[in-house]
Structure 1
């Protein structure tokens, strides 16, 4: 469930990208205001991390499920690596999109495309967890 909730925010960023990437400066900074409070998704990501680790631990006797859960964990870690490398520095440089630095267009590009990349990683995490659940159910039926 936490992965689905995390995916919803990630997909919102991804789907908004085509409509936002070409906005003029003032319009872009205005639109960015809609994300105030989204830092609370950090709690969801922490729950997601703990949940995926729990699946790995509880699936220690089911190799297929464990490997899929490990793939989900790797995807989550990759999404976070992209966030902390590209998204977070853009947030800091713009004071969460309330200050306009000279390189704001580069920061926007980094911010938008890093969120898109993170969404793909979150989608992979969700897909691998769904596959793990289906594998688990399949083995329980036999």
Structure 2
């Protein structure tokens, strides 16, 4: 029963990571070419969204726990490890590209000379993470679907 609970929670929390990620990706085409003043105004809608980053950490932890539970079966383990790799990659991308853009712009309240490059870095790092989050959800679902209860 514990494994089913972990599977369920891993799927749900992993899927929840797609909500803010998908919102960023959906907004990208409408935002990427905005002039500076308009772009910075629009960026204000994301204030408070940092709390949603906890979903990534929780998804990473749940998928690690899932990998532990399914470790006796190669395919479910492989898919779980792939989901863990996805969430790890998302965190790396965030801290390598997204977070530095947030810091350089003081969360999009100050426009440094390179704000346009930072905008591209910020937008495309979120786009990449959306694709990776989708893959992670697929992997955790596949892990759950191919897991066979012991007899």
Partner of 1:100 in structure 2? Answer: 111
Give the TM-score taking structure 1 as reference length: 0.94
Q: How many residue pairs were aligned?
A: 140
3-state SS in 2 of match to 1:101: coil
Partner of 1:2 in structure 2? Answer: 13
Partner of 1:18 in structure 2? Answer: 29
The answer to whether structure 1 residue 44 and structure 2 residue 58 are counterparts is no
- Aligned mates of 1:133, 1:8 — CA distance in 2: 21
- Aligned mates of 2:25, 2:142 — CA distance in 1: 23
Match of 2:136 among 118, 125, 135: 125
- Alpha carbon RMSD of aligned pairs, Å? 1.4
Match of 1:28 among 21, 39, 49: 39
- Aligned mates of 1:42, 1:26 — CA distance in 2: 26
State the 1:63 CA deviation.
1.2
Match of 2:78 among 67, 75, 86: 67
Give the TM-score taking structure 2 as reference length: 0.89
The runs of 5 or more residues in structure 1 that have no matched partner are none
Over 6 Å off, 4+ runs: none
Partner of 2:7 in structure 1? Answer: none
State the 1:123 CA deviation.
0.8
The runs of 5 or more residues in structure 2 that have no matched partner are 1-11
